A and B are shown apart, each in its own frame.
Chain A
Amino acid sequence: MSDATIEVTGVRKRFGPTPALNGMTFTVTPGRVTGFVGPNGAGKSTTIRVILGLDAPDEGHALVCGQAYQQLRYPLHQVGALVDAAALQPSRTGRNHLLWLAHSQKMAASRVDAVIELVGLTTAARRKARGYSLGIRQRLGIAAALLGDPPVIIMDEPFNGMDPEGIIWMRQLLRSFAGEGRAILISSHLMGELQDIANHLVVVGRGKVLADASVDELVAHASGDRVVVRTPAPTDSARVLEGSGARTEILDSFTVSVSGLAAQHIVQALSQAGVPFSEVIVQRARLEDVYLQLTSGEVEFRGGSDSGSDGQAKQ
């Protein structure tokens, strides 16, 4: 089997006059959870549909395990996808829903019962889908995604409508899957949902990738190595540190903001100069702030126009 990867290369797609994807390029590698984040209408769902072969790109291509999705013989053995948990026939039971999926992949009914147990739907799966809560639908969708024990898992907004308990369960599940070496792509329009589980982030806006980096890199980049020094002598501190090559800003009579000098060098410089200080604090940006910073332009754009690709494509 090919490596468990998703490669999206230069994908462009228009819906009428509106460009939904504008050269989308990124790679999802195995063994970690990749967060796919961006505001509503940034092109996340369209990208996922292109990956799954549901929408044809105008340009570029997407490969799963090194192959176009259409080339996969029994795709659910390679890719498990949760795209729309509400997409169920109301008069069919959850188990029968999984059963036809299993049959389409030449799988036995025993596999269906195994995934039902895995997601904890043993009783609900015998009922008709009509009465399912959003949480049950999500779990059923996850069961469907896991049916073929796939190396690649794609989930579009999986936390939508889940109760806190479900969210915790889901995060544990995803982490364990990543630990097994699977490639996992999870989209969300809320950075907060991904903060604790994503190792890697692909931030998108207006149909292209704005940032593609590990969570640590992103945070470090956004923080801009700012250090706050608490000192009774802000003027002296500023003078000494500027002498060491840093840029400073006196915020108040006890606080100096320093950039361009690492924390340990600040401590060293102040100590050598005999300037008193009580605290040296490395400022770490919150992931949420990074996200807002990256996508603020897009948010402004969306404020002026509601031609979101998600809305267009869903019809």
Chain B
Amino acid sequence: MTDTETATGRPRPPTTQPRRASFGPVLRAEWTKFRTVRAWLVGLFVAALLSVLFTFLVANGRHEGSCTGPPPPGSGPNSPGSNCHAGHPFVPTGPDGEPVADSYYFLNQPLTGNATITAEVTSLTGVISTEPANVAPSQTSTRRGLAAWAKAGILVTPSTNQGSAYAAVMATGSHGVRWQYDYTHDSPGLPGLMTDTSPRWLRLTRTGDTLTGYDSTNGITWTQIGTTRLAGLPTTVSVGLFVASPVSFQDSNNGSPTLATATFDRVSIGSRGGAGAVDAWHGQSIGNGSKSFYPTLGTGGYHRSGSAFVLSGSGDIAPGVGEGLLGADTAASSLPLGLIAGLLVMVVVSTTFITTEYRRDLIRTTFTATPNRATVLAAKAVVIGVAAFVIAAISAAVAIPLSEHILKANGDYVFPASALTEIRIMAGCAGLVAVTAVAVLALGAILRRGAGAVTVGIVVFVLPYTLKQVLAGSADEWLFRLTPAAGLDVLGALPRSAHVAYPYTLGNGYYPLTPWAGIAVLCAWVAIALGVAALVLRRRDA
């Protein structure tokens, strides 16, 4: 006993502020309570089983294929074509293992040793396909329009295979002059479009394996935009002029292929100390076949107009973003249904962990053993939270590789994710389930009735996940920003790119918050529920 007070003297005003209970014994007691009711253990098992099963079913139901040609007889004019083949088109992989778009027109020649390539881009125009999405684009149905990230410039690459390393300096549709290399790196140069009075001069130099980009408005005063080392660059590389024009999106679902045309004048290629073989040009359409995933408007081409080269090209040299564009699945895209199924079971287990004590009047025994009610709530929260975390982590660790395997076997493209990303998704799922379990436990403490607490728990903490399809416009984005459904943002697995104009919407697989911000929003909800529960428990007679 640790009592320091003695029983001498008259009764003094007693302190009724609950004494801090040591947490260990209370935690152990709550764990004993939890493990000795078989229904709760069975509930955990069922939650795990359901989440894996539903993930399996979702993954198994997805088959990738593409259909072209005229719609089958009897179907609507917007139906897919009848000429179908399975499997996802080829997605190139960039130098860092990331999926990339690498489709463009390249007028190039081999070049050995150090060199300086200079060109003046005098015009850049474009057209946009007006065919509906399910009809193959054709040059004959287009309207005028230049994609914001249409690119025309000078490019150096060790190889014309898709996904190769490169560095390029370019004029763009509406983002000024840029220096880009290896798909993900970008730095800006001169802003604005070229005009007759203000053309865009571009220069790219190679010195060893260092590449440097410059721009100029007059071909005399040059400004360096960016530089990089491409390690292992061979002595002989392909250099030349390129044009690319990416898919342009009118809304979040419909993208149209585009084609850009650029005029290059005063092109010079100089090896150090000598003039280049200016007439050794070789025009090449890169990644522009039916095999490639990136939608293009024609193959592009070039002709000479006096001293100038006129190139047209379609496609993009950029990070491969977007489920809508790629038709890609991610490591996480099969998970939500299984997650929701498991969550529903978990909500029942977690709420009844406390409401059953109210139903049986056992809560009085509990509070008699531990008068500090906040400690009891905390111990229960730790027990249910850890149990939920472990179960959800195991489920996710089984479900994620399983769904990836099945998707790939079905011919789907699964967006590559690093091991770190996969671990983050697993931990995120587990955290989401654990935190939700704690939240509904708090609801159970507040409401005391199992049926009521389960209902409110599902409405507040599970239903928002399912409203994605119901809400119109951008309301669903707010759903995943503000409501407990923000926790689902932890499933985000697709990269964004500042230099790809793409609708980064929920419908296309992009969650509005970063994973940890999403979990933080959910945690804020849980903190509110826990705070109210602790207050109510303290104020209320048991």
Interface residues of A (CB under 8 A from B): 1-3, 5, 7, 9, 49, 52-56, 61, 63, 65-77, 81, 83-84, 86-93, 96, 99-101, 103-106, 144, 313
Contacts and interface: CB of A to CB of B under 8 A. Distances in A.
B5 A66 contact: yes
A210 B2 CA distance: 37
B18 A70 contact: yes
Nearest to A314: B361
Contacts of B13: 61
A56 B541 contact: yes
Contact of B368 (A5, A67, A81, A86): A81
Given A67-B14, A70-B372, A96 B36 contact: yes
Interface in B41-90: none
Given A7-B11, A63-B14, A100-B32, A105 B19 contact: no
Contacts of A61: 11, 13-14, 16
B36 A68 contact: no
B19 A72 contact: yes
A62 to B, nearest CB: 8
A87 B7 contact: no
A92 B36 contact: yes
Contacts of B36: 92-93, 96, 99-100
A5, A53, A84, A313 — which one has the most chain B CB atoms within 10 A of its CB? Answer: A53
A55 B541 contact: yes
B364 A54 contact: yes
A87 B361 contact: yes
A289 B402 CA distance: 79
Given A61-B14, A69-B371, A104-B29, A89 B362 contact: yes
A71 B21 CA distance: 9
Contacts of B11: 7, 9, 61, 63, 66
A99 B18 CA distance: 24
- Nearest 7 Cβ contacts at the A-B interface: A104-B29, A96-B36, A2-B7, A100-B32, A68-B14, A87-B361, A66-B7
Contacts of A103: 25, 28-29, 32
A183 to B, nearest CB: 12
B362 A87 contact: yes
A293 to B, nearest CB: 31
A70 B371 contact: yes
B1, B17, B39, B366 — which one has the most chain A CB atoms within 10 A of its CB? Answer: B1
10 contacts: A53-B18, A71-B18, A75-B368, A75-B370, A86-B361, A88-B362, A93-B36, A99-B32, A100-B32, A104-B366
> How extensive is the interface on chain B, given as a class?
35 or more
Say what secondary structure dominates the interface of chain A: loop
Contacts of B30: 100
Contacts of B22: 73, 106
A104 B383 CA distance: 14
A70 B369 contact: no
B222 interface: no
A72 B371 CA distance: 8
A144 B19 CA distance: 22
A52, A69, A89 — which one has the most chain B CB atoms within 10 A of its CB? Answer: A89
A1 B368 contact: no
B356 interface: yes
A84 B362 CA distance: 9
B366 to A, nearest CB: 8
A81 B369 CA distance: 10
Contact of B3 (A1, A101, A106, A313): A1
Given A54-B542, A75-B371, A106 B364 contact: no
B224 interface: no
A30 B478 CA distance: 65
Interface in B347-388: 356-357, 360-362, 364-372
